[in-house]
Amino acid sequence: MAELNSSLDYTAQDIQVLEGMEAVRLRPGMYIGSTDSRGLHHLIYEIVDNAVDEAMAGFCTKVSVRILPDGSVKVEDDGRGIPVDVHPATGKTAVETVMTTLHAGGKFGGKGYQVSGGLHGVGASVVNALSSSLKVEVKRDGFLHEQNFERGAAIDSLESVKKATGTGTTTTFMPDEKIFGTAEYDFGVLSQRFKEMAYLNRGLQISLISEWHKEQGYSPWKQNYKFDGGIVSFVSQLNHNKEVLQSDPFYVQKTIDNTMVEASFQYNGGYSEQIYSFANCINTADGGTHLTGFRTALTRALNGFARKQKFLKEDQSNFSGEDVREGIAAVLSVKLIDPQFEGQTKGKLGNAEVQGQVDSVVAEALIYYLEENPNEARRIIDKSLTAQKAREAARKARDMVLRKNAMDGGSLPGKLADCSEKDPSLSELYLVEGESAGGSAKGGRERKFQAILPLKGKILNVEKARLDKMLGHEEIRVIITAVGANLGDDLNLEKLRYHKIIIMTDADVDGSHIRTLLLTFFYRNMRQLIEEGYLYIAQPPLYKIQAGREVHYAYLENDKDSLLEKLEGKRGLSIQRYKGLGEMNPDQLWDTTMNPQTRSLLRVTAEDAEAADRVFTELMGEEVAPRKAFIQANAANVKNLDV
């Protein structure tokens, strides 16, 4: 890459102004996606992204994010500091220009940054516009400079407050309550984002301290991340507690045509694929050209090696992409000068040239790796060969399921009590544990929009089974047919028959196990269904408390205690602990668990995919030790265990 500027020649002239900042407060969703907690978090990300840009440019080693007790946020870095001289086009200082002008920054062809995670240069100005107050402190040229803003407008001028050593920028802002309501931060979501950034910038230290969470009794409320191993450490973390096929992850880093390509992967003994892709430290959840290039290189290199070594016979077909990606944990990171993302949320990279660049770098390094590590290469090839055979068996099993449905006239499972509503957006499917509970649910439901599918026993643990074995399991086939959207790479949400799929199990150990098995199945095979918000968990009551003719239901232990305090002294007080849904009559099940006016549903999300994958691996995977450690660590937290 071209030589980067030091703080001495990174000046106001490097800040280009494209247009004004109108309508940000009027339509904030256009700039930060939404005004819920995701939008609130996005404000923090925009400021942190600017600090990480300094790190990618080689000028920042530490970033500190602090959420103060009042909900304001303070982000501090030790980068070069925003330029403080006057911008020739605006007549204002560069600090004020950056903070009050949309599309102003050092990322539009100026010399300030070769690589940047910021796309439109809207970050700082949008955060300023959507904050009731914002303060910028810049250490630069031997002084500490300060300026204050309210709702996007400067309320004073940039002033040199005192002498100071070092360089850096500190931004403190209070999200505007008129736009976001009361601030509600999710520590887990924020810490996961900063953990990824630390992995992607080897040696960068990112700390998160939330006094806001601490005051509310949350734990943890502080984290510090620094990974000298970079994305290799990321891959090792993804494979934590898994049987690995390579002693050390594969790794390559190379710059080609001003694009830095960095990739690492390591195979494990599981059946799922985990590939995280990033462009300029932005998590590209929807993939893009860089991910296509990586997948193409992986398939091409492994097929070429297998052919050359005669592991694939002449009459044997090549590995498919699915075959070579089974059991892979991979991280792909590209850093480029002019990233083209789809949408302000930057979910997909669109630069056409990057596909070939990634393909070339990864394929060349992988071919060399396979030749230099014959034992590990053989294990990878054997894994792909087994996956190829299983894929063919799964195809036959899937065809058999489809043929059976066709012979039945495309009929739905016999035990499914379907609803009369044909609009999926108005329809609900309850997956109910057991025939007894299924009978109560069928009797209590609203037939117009609620369908009931009783499940017999515990379904297969798909964490330990390939697709062909999974499709041979009757209850899983019934679920797939009822849901109607297929699964895996063939998942088509347009064919989804219900937009609310609700898991309803007993409030005991067996019910929890069945719920976990179902969640594992959906997470591994229909993850997009979770990401789009179609999967829910019903919340049946734990207790029925009756005092005379008054009937109350308690959903939590605390609810029961509170009710008993209120009803203390009443005559004829009785408490019934529900151990199963089948103990409720249809009317009770409707009133407590199925009536949209009174029920409580939990929507299943997968925002923290890495943590979710780790939990499923620990609890449902082949290795016994992680499961034992989890039980030992959490046993003390279990109350009222039914055995």
CATH of the domain at 287: 3.30.230.10
Q: Torsions phi, psi of 3, nearest 5?
A: -65, 135
Tell me which of 225, 240, 267 is where a domain ends: 225
Quote the pLDDT of residue 619. 64
Tell me which of 225, 250, 276 is where a domain ends: 225
Would 399 be classed as within a structural domain? no
Asked if 369 and 495 sit in the same domain, the reply is no
Rounded average pLDDT over 233-239: 95
Cα distances (angstroms) measured from residue 334 to each of 121, 259, 440: 19, 7, 54
Would 546 be classed as within a structural domain? no
Per the annotation, the verdict on 532 as an active-site residue is: no
Catalytic residue among 506, 591, 613, 618: 506
pLDDT at 22 over 70: no
Closest CA to 277 of 199, 381, 369: 199
The pLDDT-based confidence of 641 (bands split at 50, 70, 90) is very low
Would 249 be classed as within a structural domain? yes
Quote the pLDDT of residue 256. 93
Would 2 be classed as within a structural domain? no
pLDDT digits (tens, 9 = 90+) for 349-380: 999 999 999 999 999 999 999 999 999 999 99
- For 70-79, 125-134, 247-256, 338-347, which range has the lowest pLDDT when averaged over its residues? 338-347
The pLDDT-based confidence of 344 (bands split at 50, 70, 90) is low
Would 1 be classed as within a structural domain? no
Quote the pLDDT of residue 616. 63
CATH of the domain at 626: 3.40.50.670
Would 264 be classed as within a structural domain? yes
**Count of domains forming the chain:** 3
Higher confidence at residue 15 or residue 423?
Answer: 423
634 contact partners, CB below 8 Å, separation of at least 6: none
Distance of alpha carbon 45 from its chain centroid, rounded?
Answer: 15
Quote the pLDDT of residue 259. 93
Query: Which residue range is the domain that position 475 belongs to?
Result: 412-540+602-637
The pLDDT-based confidence of 134 (bands split at 50, 70, 90) is very high
Asked if 215 and 242 sit in the same domain, the reply is no
Quote the pLDDT of residue 18. 44
Is the Cβ–Cβ distance between 582 and 436 less than 8 Å?
yes
Quote the pLDDT of residue 119. 39
Quote the pLDDT of residue 403. 56
Quote the pLDDT of residue 198. 96
Q: Can you read off the two tokens belonging to residue 241? A: 């507690």
CATH of the domain at 200: 3.30.565.10
Asked if 247 and 328 sit in the same domain, the reply is yes
Strands annotated E in 23-167: 62-67, 73-77, 104-105, 131-140, 143-150, 153-154, 159-163
- Omega before 220 within 30 of 0, i.e. cis: yes
- Average confidence score pLDDT of the chain: 85
Catalytic residue among 53, 76, 433, 475: 433
pLDDT digits (tens, 9 = 90+) for 453-505: 999 878 888 877 777 888 888 899 899 989 998 887 788 999 999 999 999 98
The pLDDT-based confidence of 411 (bands split at 50, 70, 90) is low
Rounded average pLDDT over 578-586: 83
Cα distances (angstroms) measured from residue 273 to each of 45, 325, 401, 439, 525: 27, 6, 24, 38, 11
Quote the pLDDT of residue 608. 52
Is the Cβ–Cβ distance between 175 and 184 less than 8 Å?
no
- For 75-89, 90-104, 390-404, 423-437, which range has the lowest pLDDT when averaged over its residues? 390-404
Catalytic residue among 186, 211, 510, 623: 510
pLDDT digits (tens, 9 = 90+) for 586-615: 998 999 999 999 898 988 887 655 555 666
Per the annotation, the verdict on 433 as an active-site residue is: yes
Quote the pLDDT of residue 109. 45
Quote the pLDDT of residue 1. 47
Would 405 be classed as within a structural domain? no
Quote the pLDDT of residue 250. 98
Is the Cβ–Cβ distance between 62 and 122 less than 8 Å?
no
Asked if 617 and 503 sit in the same domain, the reply is yes
Quote the pLDDT of residue 466. 79
Quote the pLDDT of residue 418. 93
Distance CA 551, CA 558 (A): 17
Asked if 175 and 319 sit in the same domain, the reply is no
Asked if 386 and 530 sit in the same domain, the reply is no
pLDDT at 218 over 60: yes
Catalytic residue among 49, 146, 322, 508: 508
Among all chains, which residue has been given the structure tokens 């299943």?
A: 604
The pLDDT-based confidence of 643 (bands split at 50, 70, 90) is very low
Distance CA 595, CA 540 (A): 11
Is the Cβ–Cβ distance between 95 and 169 less than 8 Å?
no
Per the annotation, the verdict on 418 as an active-site residue is: no
Asked if 245 and 214 sit in the same domain, the reply is no
Distance CA 352, CA 373 (A): 32
Quote the pLDDT of residue 29. 79
Asked if 321 and 431 sit in the same domain, the reply is no
Q: Can you read off the two tokens belonging to residue 528? A: 């997009």
Asked if 182 and 272 sit in the same domain, the reply is no
Quote the pLDDT of residue 23. 73
Asked if 21 and 115 sit in the same domain, the reply is yes
Would 588 be classed as within a structural domain? no
Quote the pLDDT of residue 145. 96
Q: E strand or H helix at 502, and its extent? A: strand 500-504
Tell me which of 176, 208, 225 is where a domain ends: 225
Per the annotation, the verdict on 408 as an active-site residue is: no
Measured CA angle at 356 (ends 354, 360), to 5 deg? 115
Instruction: Tell me what percent of the residues of the chain surpass a pLDDT of 70.
Output: 86
Asked if 492 and 633 sit in the same domain, the reply is yes
Measured CA angle at 152 (ends 146, 156), to 5 deg? 35
Asked if 271 and 326 sit in the same domain, the reply is yes
Quote the pLDDT of residue 370. 97
643 contact partners, CB below 8 Å, separation of at least 6: 509
Quote the pLDDT of residue 638. 45
SS3 assignment, position 603: strand
Cα distances (angstroms) measured from residue 133 to each of 67, 156, 178, 182: 15, 12, 12, 15
